[in-house]
Structure 1
Amino acid sequence: MIDGSDLRAILVTAARHLGIGSLAGLGESGTPEDHDGGRQNLLLLVQLRWIAVAGQVVTIAVAQAGLGIALPLGPMAVVLAGLVLLNLVSLGWIARGGGVTEGVLFVALLLDVVALTLQLSLSGGATNPFTSLFLLQLTLAAVLLSSRATIGLVAITTAALGVLMLAYRPLVLPPGDSDELFRLYLVGMLVSFVIDAALIAVFVTRISRNLRRQDARLADLRQRAAEEDHIVRMGLLASGAAHELGTPLSSLSVILGDWRRMPELTSSPDIAREIEEMQEAVGRCKAIVTGILLAAGAARGEAPHLTTVRSFVTELVGDWRRMRSCFCLQVRDEFGEDEEIVSDTALKQVLFNVLDNALDLSPNYVELVLLRDGDTLRLSVTDRGPGFAPEMLARLGQPYTSSKGRLGGGLGLFLVVNVVRKLGGTVEARNRSYGGAVVTISLPLSSLTV
């Protein structure tokens, strides 16, 4: 029985020897950039709370100094200080990398409801027109939380409003202004509506944008999972093919060994040379099959070693020219100061694959450009072939997307994109305006350096 690690190792070796790229890193957990939608939403709640603190300070100042309404400034200041402290705690939690679950968002909204309830109880209770601000918290809850949590917050908010109808500190108006109470209430309702409408429009829109981004990331993860499942199935086929090829290759090796001892065949130098070449080819095929079957546990196939960017590229170009018997490859070095890296077999096989594709379409000219862009290594392969069809550029990196018309073609670039992505890089392809195409591999040097 072949387990997951054995299968990954088999696939790495099979891909390397069959010339369809490298799958090193398959199944390894990388460190993708953190785009946690929960943290983004908690940050929006923090921003909303700062606005609430500033708005309450302005409202209290206008009521106390402008309208002459006596308010309990001490207790209200304590509530404001609590909101500030809650914001600082929330920012500290985000800075430490704490997870933001639905429970965290529920508690944050619940504390906002409690703070608003306390402020309203100190300034007229249910007679305060700013009770409509409860709707803002409920709107945010409906967007951010599950149905059960939203219903819970609705029940708590309703209970809080009921308490405000029974227990509150009445507003004390200046003498002679009691007749203005209803007009002030109407003005307060207008201000409260404007605040509610503006904040709901702004923050719900931003939260919805965060949720859409999160959905897009989940869709991308599903796509990657499907691609890796496809790669695993290819590994099963590779291991099965290796088992099946073992017996006929052994038979061919025995037959060729017998032919080498037959005088009627070895008497001809041309036939003897051809038999020797066939034995070398069979020996190479047997080595490939053996490597596939014995690769369990060897995630990279070959032990990595320290080198430099230029040495790595020089060795790679030499191996590729020797194996393809092709000297049409031109190399342009614009890297600048050399950098020590670990020789990565995966990257070597990726470049082999891209160079092979370019050679198939442009047998007389292939160019490899090596350059450095800040902390990024860029390797560009240019050819003078017909270029990529528009539909291929749109589906770059998807399996079986090929312009060569071969059955099962298009796997090479599919594996290239997946391996480079595992190393934290990107693959870009474009057509040149005067003919040919350019494939650029961009990799952070941090993924290759010690």
Structure 2
Amino acid sequence: MQRVVASTSWFIRALYSASAVIFTLVALLQIQRQEFNLLVIWLGLGLFSATVGAITWLLRERKSEALAFAQIFVIVLLWVCALALSGGAMNPANSFLLLPIAIAFLMLSAPRAWVILLTTFVAQAVFFWQMQTSQYANTELADHYAAMSFTFFVAATLLATMIRIVRKRLETSQAKLQKMREDQLRQEQILAVATASAQYTHELATPLATVSLLHGELAEEFPDHVVVREMAEPLSRVTHLLKDLRHVTLSLDQNEMQLFCVNELLAELQEQLTIAHASVPIEFVAGNEGHFTIEADYALLPAILNLIRNAAREVESIGHGQVSVHSLRDGHSWLLRIENTNESMTEESLERLGTKRTQSESGLGIGMLLSNATLERFAGSLAIRLQTPKLVVQEIRIPLYQLREN
């Protein structure tokens, strides 16, 4: 669409140049007819066209719709004056007014484009009225000239409507194409992050196995040592997380979709968060509609965990407040609402979270980006907003698969 507008801007400048040349030639023809008043008027129109054309050329770098509207409006007035001097509706060149109408509906917004169209309609009405009061009013040509005026009205209306429809469709197609490009770029970023995570996980597996083996030997030799006992739980947790990651990777590779009972999923979330964020109060509130299921894969749990952990880290950094996780059925969707106390997030920063990388003191927002992309794979969505300046709300929606009785 931008290329079309640029080409049309060039065409407007060409129209001013052509108008200046034509008006000057018509002025020279008045010398033979000894019509010196018309000579001055046509020369004035030619000079004015050349001046406005030069100004249009000097302002070619400025991208302003108001300026484009002024340029088109002036060219319409110039041509209306020229037609008024040369027969009005009886001039075959009357149809040239369709050109600025087409340009207006290509370049301008709807209100300004309709102003251009109405201006030409008013001019045509004046021409038609002049023709009815002229010497041709009662001749056989009167019907012909009236038909020409009527044809102009119909052609201008159809031209304006069709160009407006085509432009609207082009803008819609371009918006969809831009959205596809943004989605593709985001998927490429996600793929790069996922590939790097898989590589680092693979590199981590060998030293973790070595450390686990050494811990086992130390546990046999020093079963009552405090440090050896404290190492058991974090080593077991890291080993469990690596197994979960392999499970998720295998599930994604085979594109396996599973049915998850929401209550069981909430219990798993609560268990893992109790271990990871024991210092932060996390309240789970579940609706009493009964058991219902969703369809997803094993990447769902880490995606939701990441969102709740972000909320818990915010509360932990503040030093007070809590995280509330509300689960309920909302129509044909499962709604999981995460609320947490806030002091660092603003509306501007929340708009970027989950859609692109966001530079901050705590990271780049890659976790939110991955969580959002994961939810979209299950036809879900993530919405983040400020309920109040001190409260952040994250809403996860995933379509229900089916209902199950207790």
Normalised to the residue count of structure 2, the TM-score between the two structures is 0.57
Percent identical pairs in the alignment equals 22
1:384 CA displacement: 1.1
Q: What's the offset of the Cα at 1:414?
A: 0.9
- CA shift, 1:294, in A, is 7.3
> Number of residues paired by the alignment?
277
Pair 1:255-2:232 in alignment: no
> Could you tell me whether the CA contact under 8 Å between 2:353 and 2:365 is conserved in 1?
no
1:437 match: secondary structure: strand
**Which among 392, 400, 403 is matched to residue 445 of structure 1?**
400
Deviation by residue 1:355-388 (Cα, 9 ceiling, x = unmatched): 1011111144111122343323322111112152
| Equivalent residue, structure 2, for 1:357 | 310
Asked whether the 8 Å contact 1:305–1:342 carries over to 2, the reply is yes
By how many angstroms is 1:233 displaced? 1.2
Match of 1:218 in 2: 177
Q: Provide the rounded CA distance (Å) in 1 between the counterparts of 2:331 and 2:140.
A: 66
Please tell me the residue identity of whatever aligns with 2:190: I
Mark the runs of 5 or more structure 1 residues left unpaired by the alignment: 1-128, 144-178
Identify if the C-alpha distance between structure 1 residues 341 and 324 changes in structure 2 by more than 3 Å, giving closer, same or farther.
same
Q: Give SS of 2:388's match.
A: coil
Q: Deviations over 1:28-71 (max 9, x none)?
A: xxxxxxxxxxxxxxxxxxxxxxxxxxxxxxxxxxxxxxxxxxxx
Task: Give the match for residue 338 of structure 2.
Answer: 381
Structure ranking higher in helix proportion: 2
Match 2:235 to one of 267, 282, 291: 282
Q: Distance in 2 between matches of 1:237 and 1:409?
A: 15
After superposition, the C-alpha distances for 1:414-449 in whole angstroms (9 at most, x for unaligned) are 112212222223222112325121111223335x77
Corresponding residue of 1:203: 162
Q: Are the equivalent residues in 2 in contact too, given 1:302–1:345 (CA < 8 A)?
A: no
Q: Secondary structure at the match of 2:379?
A: coil
**Are positions 1:182 and 2:182 aligned together?**
no
1:260-284, CA deviations, whole angstroms, 9 ceiling, x for partnerless residues?
243xx44xx3x2x431332443344
CA distance in 2 between counterparts of 1:333 and 1:296 reads: 30
Conserved in 2, the CA contact under 8 Å of 1:401 and 1:409? yes
Supply the distance in 1 between the matched residues of 2:174 and 2:186 (Cα, whole angstroms).
18
Larger gyration radius, structure 1 or structure 2: 2
SS at match of 1:386: coil
1:328-343 aligned at under 5 Å gives the runs 328-334=281-287, 336=289, 338-342=291-295
**2:273 & 2:348 partners in 1: Cα distance?**
30
The 5 A counterparts of 1:20-35 are none
- Report the aligned-residue RMSD: 4.0
Q: CA deviation at 1:208?
A: 0.9
**Shift, 1:352, TM fit:** 1.1
CA distance in 2, matches of 1:348, 1:289: 14
> CA, structure 1 residues 374+287, in 2 after alignment: closer, same or farther (shift >3 Å)?
closer
**Residue 417 (str. 1) matches residue 376 (str. 2):** no
Name stretches of at least 5 consecutive residues in structure 2 with no aligned partner: 1-91, 107-137
Alignment match, 1:235: 194
The structure whose RCO (Cα within 8 Å, separation 6+) is larger is: 1
Taking structure 1 as the reference length, what is the TM-score of the superposition?
Answer: 0.52
Cα deviation digits, residues 380-416 of structure 1 (max 9, x gap): 111112152233123121444265x13x441111112
User: Is 1:242–1:293's contact at 8 Å kept on the other side of the alignment?
Assistant: no
